[in-house]
Amino acid sequence: MPYLFTSESVSEGHPDKVADQISDALIDNFMAYDAKSKVACETLVTTGQVVLAGEVKTEAYLDVQDIAREVIRKIGYTKSEYMFEANSCGILSAIHEQSADINQGVERTNPEEQGAGDQGMMFGYATNETDNYMPLALDLAHKLLRELAALRRENKQITYLRPDAKSQVTIEYSDDNQPIRIDTIVISTQHDDFADDNTMLAKIKEDVINILVPRVKAQLKPELQKLFDDAITYHINPTGKFVIGGPHGDTGLTGRKIIVDTYGGKGAHGGGAFSGKDPSKVDRSAAYATRHIAKNLVAAGLCDEVLVQVSYAIGVAKPCGVYVNTNGTAKVKLHDGEIARKVEAIFDLRPYAIEQRLKLRNPIYSETAAYGHMGRKNEVVTKIFNEGKKNEKKVEVELFTWEKLDYVDKVKAAFGL
């Protein structure tokens, strides 16, 4: 029987994402100046106020206020009427030294025996329904908001947009799990004040349907463009006026958008947030590692979709277990448990090995903090920290290494594909 599946996304100006981006900007700066830094940094944002809290072990010194203000400025909170503005918001830092009790469980004389930074389970997922091996509903939800942000910055076709926004996409699937059509699109975007509320709602709906959606549709391959039809239900700013938004409208906290960050409800999530954590925290590094595994398994043709789980005990290098679920789509005559054992032999899932394989002790995290950590473009970029200052530093880094298909040949060889 056909069914509906929904995923949501939030923009870079959403208060929780503002918090994530500040936390990850701090991680990047720590990594740029001391790659061995151990960091767990949380951020709270509300009306005119930013609170930074967390634990750090590092040789680096950072101007955390300046870093936070630059993130807020880049997002677009630059006007006093937003009630949260880069130059004027208060910033309180309550960052202190990391617990020695935790650190002794992570660092080892032999780096390869580095223990996991915490206990827990992490999941990776991949599906062949999109070119980037991501669930389609989430991929479209992200694309809508990335394009909405582009329209806001261009300030030409749509001139009233403010930074905060949310999207949601519902897709109808067939009995055999193939997308048939887009059933519903929801967009809620913060905007400048209009003189008349009815004019406002009509204008925003018209612009979303006639400007935003066609720009997103044009980015898709023809078979996905066909999913857009005249029967789509649109809910555009369904509550009406949305002038008060961002941290003034809703308090934001690091780590509250973990489903947006991963697979939009497809697959599973272990519960641990990513942003603000250095890669010794397996909440982050092992989630990237399992995504890397899942994507390479599907790309190799082993299965149409797969969920990969790994679990750890704090202070212990070897995982407690590896689990694989292909949802009956495997193309080899092996049970999922047998596939899991082969996966464990191909991919070293000790924390240090993950850090090295995916190049995680680099300042690569700011780019992950909005529009999803998975399904993104793997590329090499040059980043500049403290530009124009005495301690300016240029670093060439490789982003989204867990999206590389560099283990496809190894998977094919191991499974005889």
Q: What is the mean pLDDT of residues 72-90?
A: 97
Edge to edge, the sheet with strand 90-97 lists 90-97, 49-57, 38-46, 252-253
| Known binding residues for L-methionine | 55, 98, 250, 281
The boundaries of the domain holding residue 327 are 120-127+281-415
**Overall number of domains in the chain:** 2
Owner of token pair 């004040």: 193
| Known binding residues for Mg(2+) | 16
Q: What pLDDT score does 107 carry?
A: 63
Owner of token pair 């299965």: 303
Question: DSSP state, 116?
Answer: B
- Tell me whether residue 49 is in a domain: no
- Tell me whether residue 358 is in a domain: yes
- Tell me whether residue 208 is in a domain: yes
Q: What pLDDT score does 99 carry?
A: 60
Token pair listed for 301: 């043709």
Instruction: Find, among 417, 134, 402, 136, the residue nearest to 301 by Cα.
Output: 417
111 Cβ contact list (under 8 Å, min separation 6): 352
- Tell me whether residue 89 is in a domain: no
Q: What pLDDT score does 111 carry?
A: 72
Q: What pLDDT score does 117 carry?
A: 78
**pLDDT of 315-342, one tens digit each?**
899 999 999 999 999 999 999 999 999 9
The answer to whether 186 and 167 have CB atoms below 8 angstroms apart is yes
pLDDT band at residue 195 using 50, 70 and 90 as cut-offs: confident
- Tell me whether residue 360 is in a domain: yes
pLDDT band at residue 398 using 50, 70 and 90 as cut-offs: very high
**pLDDT of 118-144, one tens digit each?**
889 999 999 999 999 999 999 999 999
> Could you tell me if 161 and 231 lie in one domain?
yes
Mean pLDDT of the chain: 95
**Domain CATH for 142:** 3.30.300.10
Query: 3-class SS at 154?
Result: helix
- Tell me whether residue 16 is in a domain: no
Q: What pLDDT score does 242 carry?
A: 96
The answer to whether 2 and 174 have CB atoms below 8 angstroms apart is yes
In what helix (H) or strand (E) does residue 120 lie, and over which residues does it extend? strand 120-127
| Known binding residues | 14, 16, 42, 55, 98, 164-166, 241-242, 250, 256-257, 273, 277, 281
> Could you tell me if 189 and 285 lie in one domain?
no
Distances (CA, A) of 167 to 127, 316, 374: 21, 40, 17
Q: What is the mean pLDDT of residues 276-289?
A: 96
CA distance 407 to 293: 8
Q: Which phi and psi (to 5°) does residue 214 adopt? A: -60, -35
Q: What pLDDT score does 266 carry?
A: 94
Whether 226 shows a pLDDT value over 90: the answer reads yes
Q: What pLDDT score does 116 carry?
A: 85
> Could you tell me if 319 and 377 lie in one domain?
yes
Angle, CA 256 vertex, CA 251 and CA 260 arms, to 5°: 120
| Known binding residues for ATP | 14, 164-166, 241-242, 250, 256-257, 273, 277
> Could you tell me if 295 and 223 lie in one domain?
no
> Could you tell me if 285 and 235 lie in one domain?
no
Owner of token pair 């349907």: 209
Model confidence pTM above 0.85: yes
222 Cβ contact list (under 8 Å, min separation 6): none
Task: Give percent above pLDDT 90 in the chain.
Answer: 92
For the chain, how big is the Rg over CA atoms in Å?
22
Instruction: Find, among 287, 204, 193, 273, the residue nearest to 238 by Cα.
Output: 204
| Known binding residues for K(+) | 42
